[in-house]
Structure 1
Amino acid sequence: MEKVCIIGAGGSGIASCQVLRERGIDFDCYEAGSAVGGNWRYPNDNGLSSGYRSLHINTSRHLSEYRSYPMPETYPHYPHHSQVAEYFDDFVDHFGFRDKISFRTEVVRVEPVDGSWDVTVRQRDTGAETTRRYRAVLVANGHHSVPRYPEPAFPGADTFTGVQTHSHDYKVPDEYANKRVLVVGFGNSASDIAVETSAISARTVLSVRRGGYVFPKFMFGTPGDDMISPFLTRVVPREMQRWIMAALLRVTIGSVTDYGLPKPDHKLFNSHPTVSDTLLGRLGHGDIIAKPNIARFDGDTVHFVDGSSEAMDAVIYCTGYKITFPFLDENVIAPADNDVSLFHRVVDPNHPGLYFIGLFQPLGATMVLSEAQAHWVADLLDGSAALPSTAKMWREINDYKKALAKRYVRSGRHTMQVDHYPYLAELKAERRQGAKRARKNVPPLPANYRPAEVSTWIDAAPATVWNLISDVTRMGNWSPECRRCFWRGRKRGVGARFIGINRRGRMLWVTSNKVERAEPGRSFAFQTTTNGVSWSYVLEPDGGGTRVTERWDVSGQSPAQRKRSASFANMLLDGYDAHNEELLDGMRKTLERVKATAETNAPAVLRAA
């Protein structure tokens, strides 16, 4: 039950594996495919990944590489998917956790149970299902597996006589040779596919719903994102960042309208940019024709909103993906229009122990950000950091969503945007704050908490023993810390109140107490209202004597009372755990003294009652 479950062995999943292994946190990782890599494993038999044969990363090698394991210097600035997959294999083998990954194993169900998580997996080759319990689950299954088509579909789409597909299913351009191809979208996949098909198609048209910005991969012979510094993105105001980047774009590529693309209707950095060194050149050569949004289909003819039309043989929708977690019940999490509410894009405030790694859309690189997320989660798992209150987590989530709505064009792809360096700084700051909370906070009671109890057998009748423990004025005779107790008022029995004067060394403290149960010969219980702790004694006849069980229960403490108790324990002893051990020892001594008195003076006790 101390293990953690990691779902997925793509770039985010293996980053999580490495961090947990480094921190000494035991885990199991489940991967549906036969190898690590996710989208970067081509082809991938997991049935989920969306890579294609010509795929390269669109962030530079230096920005993308894990901080714990650099990419080889022999790699190009923008490695091919095969090189990224090789890098992932080397990463796993270097840190030695391949044996912790169960390949061809699909996670089919994840359920919260009593503060833990039951994870059911299916071995894809045999169909055998197994359920194991984990204390936490890290979801790193990616978000490029379920294609998102235009919703609603374009009018007449069902009448189209050609082939309609999604970029998720695109692998090679060969099938589009001498075809009239329409690519719908303006993201990185749309750019790559339009460029690639245009080399062999009869005609390639790129349908763009709105204008956008195209960033070249290189500026002045240097990878473009290597020119972006933490200082620029964290300290310089965004308006100045826009001005600087706009100037660089004007110098290096000019305006997108020079290539036939529509003028952007939003500011730079207010939507996810397209990164390509080849798209504008193909547009400028006329190998790709830019068109506005689709108005309707009519047989093999596609009509556009500007009144123009084109006869087409194939349509490739590059319209993004739906965020789904088929193994999680909708009562746990149900993304609405790709909107997932997570504290700092990682923590589900409503479900302790459920974390999401790599569930973001970065202006920057995914791998290093996932690695940073995993470090934060490791802090939470090993107790070196703590989360704020649920209310504070929701406040951060709502502030994040307001900032997104203010900055970005409304779109399903802009629900989880992060900026590379600012987000790294955000996680670093939260780790610092979490460490401070961990030093101040008292650990929450475990889900399987049981009150501490001590039991002994006394060679005396239950009535004899009960008369001793229910007389609070004699409590100072039994308890090692209690010096004296006295009743407040004349009331006795349930509801009666009494004061306790306690001392340990030079420390003197006073408690207020209230009787909660008083059943002669059977039980006696009171609560120390000062700190919310309940004390009880249960008496049972046993072989001519009495079995007495003393119980100490802190489950009724409020968070503030628990904090005060911890502070008190830190003053007197070496912390909360030491305080608990001292109390257990005190309970044993209490029962020993009651036992000695009851067995020695039983008749006198009964007469005194």
Structure 2
Amino acid sequence: MTRVAIVGAGPGGLVAARYLRSEGLTPVVFDKSPLCGGQWTGLSGSSGVWPSMRTNTSRVLTQFSDLPHRPDVALYPSADQIRAYLLRYRQDFLPGLPMHTDATVHEIEAVPGGWAVRHDRGEEVFEKVVIATGRFQHPEVPDVPGLKTFSGRMGIAHSSAYRGTRRHRNGHFLVAGCAISALEVASELCMSGARRVVVCYRRQRYVLPKLKAGVPTDHLLFTREQAEAEDALPRGEFGARLKALVLASGGSPEQYGLPRPADDIFEAGLTLSQHYLPLVAEGRIQVRPWIDRIEGTEVRFRDGRAECFDGIYFGTGFALHLPFLAPSVRATLNLGPQRIDLFRHTFHPQLPGLAFMGLWDQSGPYFPPLELQARWIAYTWSGAIAPPTADEMEEGLAACRARGDAPPKTRMNLVALDFARAAGVEPDPKRWPGLARALWSGPLAPVSFRLEGRDALPDAAARFAAEVPELVEH
């Protein structure tokens, strides 16, 4: 039996274990946290999830194909609901799985016979290793002049350290950044009793609400149709198409009193928030340009205005952080704060037996591509499908290197379809006439990738139809 170490017990690690086991390999999971669930444990120090947090991805796209959510789960589930879901997934599909929690992995190094995994409890050699520690583990706070002098009573923290609003009531807060976490923290502070909330950022992004006429916008944005258009159309033409969808869903920021973003949506960027734009329009959130400098409790902005704050949250992203990889492995991967050179985000030809899960930076739900990536890894390592050739991997690595040290975000639909094609499980809409419209312009639900190929499910068509009834043709 081939033993596989999996580093990380979050969604990526669990779904990797499930498919590796089903393919006859023997997974053993390590996680530094005392609980499984990764970010969704909500544990301070190892999770950026706060108690009142809701997913920014819809229920259909925040699940795995084997386990639908229970009927009472919200359209945008709570943190508690996702935590319970992952525990149920482990109980249903991974009974008896060897799992070492509270076990920090200190080093992974190539040795004769495989990979040495050195952890709190000793050293073991595994034939193969999957790195599933997640993309959002190492917060980045930019270097701002005077940052260390800030003396507000609530201090400075990254948005990943935010833990709810009770202690923030009646406070005066600055939130720096325009990504999802920044806008969600700012919105919650505003709606939960903070006296004043100011948001600052370097450029104005377009902002997409979670819902358009009751339909989750991730069902509209991350489709096969959009992926094919992005592949086929010139960049500017696809950008105009994407921008039109965003504007039809929630309008443009300047309509709410914000600065006008760049006309090119790729230059401006896109983020997601249901409440942010209306709160700005109501005057409940104020917006400033980026920070010029900080002196004590005072923050001076680049437009010359200044204000005093009780606390500052930085929603400014995360860096890749894999310190447990041996130096030679990190060098081979050209590992940097925002880059890792891999073929299809997964393999490297000079590191056989090592695979990486979920380390790309994307817009959109992670659960569907994580499951597809896990299936591809498991099918490849079990011999069920042919591995990529050396030429294929070298060509993929060359494209990866060309993206440089700060590659742009990709979109979930592109990544999911890439993994589905690699694993041989992309459904052909022509074979499913009643579902053709749903497969083309509907959400890339995980169960839709159980219609064909290895691990096809007899009830997949009925389950997919139930998830998108408005797109099913009878």
1:417 is aligned, of 409, 426, 430, to 409
AA partner of residue 96 (structure 1): L
1:328 aligns with 325
Q: Aligned pair in 2 of structure 1 residues 258, 25: CA closer, same or farther (>3 Å)?
A: same
1:363 aligns with 363
2:67 is aligned, of 66, 69, 72, to 69
Instruction: Please say if residues 31 and 103 of structure 2, whose CA atoms lie closer than 8 Å, have aligned partners that are also in contact.
Output: yes
1:526 aligns with none
Query: How far is 1:130 from its partner?
Result: 1.6
Could you report, residue by residue, the CA deviation over 1:463-507 in whole angstroms, capped at 9, with x for unpaired residues? xxxxxxxxxxxxxxxxxxxxxxxxxxxxxxxxxxxxxxxxxxxxx
Q: Which moves more between the two structures, 60-69 or 110-119?
A: 60-69
2:184 aligns with 192
Instruction: Please say if residues 345 and 416 of structure 1, whose CA atoms lie closer than 8 Å, have aligned partners that are also in contact.
Output: no
Q: What secondary structure does 1:296 align onto? A: strand
* CA distance in structure 2 between the aligned counterparts of 1:235 and 1:9, rounded to whole angstroms: 35
Note the 1:67-466 alignment, pairs <5 A.
67-122=65-120, 129-150=121-142, 153-162=143-152, 163-199=155-191, 200-228=193-221, 229-235=223-229, 237=233, 239=236, 241-265=238-262, 267-269=264-266, 273-333=270-330, 335-383=335-383, 384-389=385-390, 392-400=392-400, 402=402, 415=407, 417-431=409-423
Could you report, residue by residue, the CA deviation over 1:220-250 in whole angstroms, capped at 9, with x for unpaired residues? 1111111243123224636555444433433
Query: How far is 1:311 from its partner?
Result: 1.6
* CA distance in structure 1 between the aligned counterparts of 2:349 and 2:203, rounded to whole angstroms: 36
- TM-score, structure 1 length as denominator? 0.64
AA partner of residue 165 (structure 1): A
Could you report, residue by residue, the CA deviation over 1:71-115 in whole angstroms, capped at 9, with x for unpaired residues? 223311110110011111111111133532222222122111025
- TM-score, structure 2 length as denominator? 0.82
Q: Aligned pair in 2 of structure 1 residues 100, 250: CA closer, same or farther (>3 Å)?
A: same
Q: Aligned pair in 2 of structure 1 residues 95, 323: CA closer, same or farther (>3 Å)?
A: same
* CA distance in structure 2 between the aligned counterparts of 1:271 and 1:333, rounded to whole angstroms: 32
Q: Aligned pair in 2 of structure 1 residues 246, 322: CA closer, same or farther (>3 Å)?
A: closer
Q: Aligned pair in 2 of structure 1 residues 98, 219: CA closer, same or farther (>3 Å)?
A: farther
* CA distance in structure 1 between the aligned counterparts of 2:270 and 2:386, rounded to whole angstroms: 35
Q: Aligned pair in 2 of structure 1 residues 357, 77: CA closer, same or farther (>3 Å)?
A: same
- Is the radius of gyration larger for structure 1 or structure 2? 1
1:490 aligns with none
Q: Aligned pair in 2 of structure 1 residues 178, 56: CA closer, same or farther (>3 Å)?
A: same
Could you report, residue by residue, the CA deviation over 1:439-485 in whole angstroms, capped at 9, with x for unpaired residues? xxxxxxxxxxxxxxxxxxxxxxxxxxxxxxxxxxxxxxxxxxxxxxx
* CA distance in structure 1 between the aligned counterparts of 2:173 and 2:370, rounded to whole angstroms: 36
Q: Aligned pair in 2 of structure 1 residues 300, 227: CA closer, same or farther (>3 Å)?
A: same
Structure number with higher relative contact order (C-alpha < 8 Å, ≥ 6 residues apart): 2
Could you report, residue by residue, the CA deviation over 1:278-319 in whole angstroms, capped at 9, with x for unpaired residues? 011111111110111111112222111122221222111111
Instruction: Please say if residues 385 and 431 of structure 1, whose CA atoms lie closer than 8 Å, have aligned partners that are also in contact.
Output: no
Q: Aligned pair in 2 of structure 1 residues 21, 416: CA closer, same or farther (>3 Å)?
A: farther
Query: How far is 1:144 from its partner?
Result: 1.9
Instruction: Please say if residues 339 and 416 of structure 1, whose CA atoms lie closer than 8 Å, have aligned partners that are also in contact.
Output: no
* CA distance in structure 1 between the aligned counterparts of 2:208 and 2:199, rounded to whole angstroms: 17
AA partner of residue 326 (structure 1): P
AA partner of residue 219 (structure 1): K
* CA distance in structure 2 between the aligned counterparts of 1:12 and 1:310, rounded to whole angstroms: 42
AA partner of residue 387 (structure 2): A
Instruction: Please say if residues 29 and 99 of structure 2, whose CA atoms lie closer than 8 Å, have aligned partners that are also in contact.
Output: yes
2:448 aligns with none
* CA distance in structure 1 between the aligned counterparts of 2:225 and 2:272, rounded to whole angstroms: 22
Q: What secondary structure does 2:421 align onto? A: helix
Q: What secondary structure does 1:332 align onto? A: helix
* CA distance in structure 1 between the aligned counterparts of 2:29 and 2:282, rounded to whole angstroms: 48
Query: How far is 1:136 from its partner?
Result: 0.8
* CA distance in structure 1 between the aligned counterparts of 2:51 and 2:206, rounded to whole angstroms: 25
Query: How far is 1:272 from its partner?
Result: 5.4
* CA distance in structure 2 between the aligned counterparts of 1:378 and 1:287, rounded to whole angstroms: 50
* CA distance in structure 2 between the aligned counterparts of 1:345 and 1:356, rounded to whole angstroms: 7
* CA distance in structure 2 between the aligned counterparts of 1:134 and 1:196, rounded to whole angstroms: 45
Q: Aligned pair in 2 of structure 1 residues 343, 115: CA closer, same or farther (>3 Å)?
A: farther
AA partner of residue 58 (structure 2): S
Query: How far is 1:70 from its partner?
Result: 2.1
Query: How far is 1:56 from its partner?
Result: 1.5
* CA distance in structure 1 between the aligned counterparts of 2:212 and 2:304, rounded to whole angstroms: 37
* CA distance in structure 1 between the aligned counterparts of 2:94 and 2:255, rounded to whole angstroms: 52
Q: What secondary structure does 1:307 align onto? A: coil
AA partner of residue 262 (structure 1): P
1:443 aligns with none
* CA distance in structure 1 between the aligned counterparts of 2:287 and 2:92, rounded to whole angstroms: 47
Q: Aligned pair in 2 of structure 1 residues 337, 352: CA closer, same or farther (>3 Å)?
A: same
* CA distance in structure 2 between the aligned counterparts of 1:249 and 1:346, rounded to whole angstroms: 31
Matched, 1:55 2:53: yes
AA partner of residue 225 (structure 2): F
Q: Please list every run of 5 or more consecutive structure 1 residues that lacks an aligned counterpart in the other structure.
A: 123-128, 406-411, 434-609
Instruction: Please say if residues 109 and 326 of structure 2, whose CA atoms lie closer than 8 Å, have aligned partners that are also in contact.
Output: yes
Q: Which moves more between the two structures, 107-116 or 254-263?
A: 254-263
AA partner of residue 273 (structure 1): L
1:11 aligns with 11
* CA distance in structure 2 between the aligned counterparts of 1:81 and 1:393, rounded to whole angstroms: 38
AA partner of residue 215 (structure 1): L
Instruction: Please say if residues 17 and 94 of structure 2, whose CA atoms lie closer than 8 Å, have aligned partners that are also in contact.
Output: no
Report percent identity of matched pairs. 28
* CA distance in structure 2 between the aligned counterparts of 1:165 and 1:176, rounded to whole angstroms: 13
Q: What secondary structure does 1:380 align onto? A: helix
Query: How far is 1:392 from its partner?
Result: 4.2
Instruction: Please say if residues 27 and 97 of structure 2, whose CA atoms lie closer than 8 Å, have aligned partners that are also in contact.
Output: no
Q: Please list every run of 5 or more consecutive structure 2 residues that lacks an aligned counterpart in the other structure.
A: 426-474
Q: Aligned pair in 2 of structure 1 residues 251, 429: CA closer, same or farther (>3 Å)?
A: closer
Query: How far is 1:337 from its partner?
Result: 2.8
Instruction: Please say if residues 52 and 170 of structure 1, whose CA atoms lie closer than 8 Å, have aligned partners that are also in contact.
Output: yes
Q: Aligned pair in 2 of structure 1 residues 138, 235: CA closer, same or farther (>3 Å)?
A: same
Dislocated runs of 4+, deviation >6 Å: none
Q: Aligned pair in 2 of structure 1 residues 416, 374: CA closer, same or farther (>3 Å)?
A: farther
Query: How far is 1:187 from its partner?
Result: 0.9
* CA distance in structure 1 between the aligned counterparts of 2:162 and 2:374, rounded to whole angstroms: 31
* CA distance in structure 1 between the aligned counterparts of 2:345 and 2:97, rounded to whole angstroms: 29
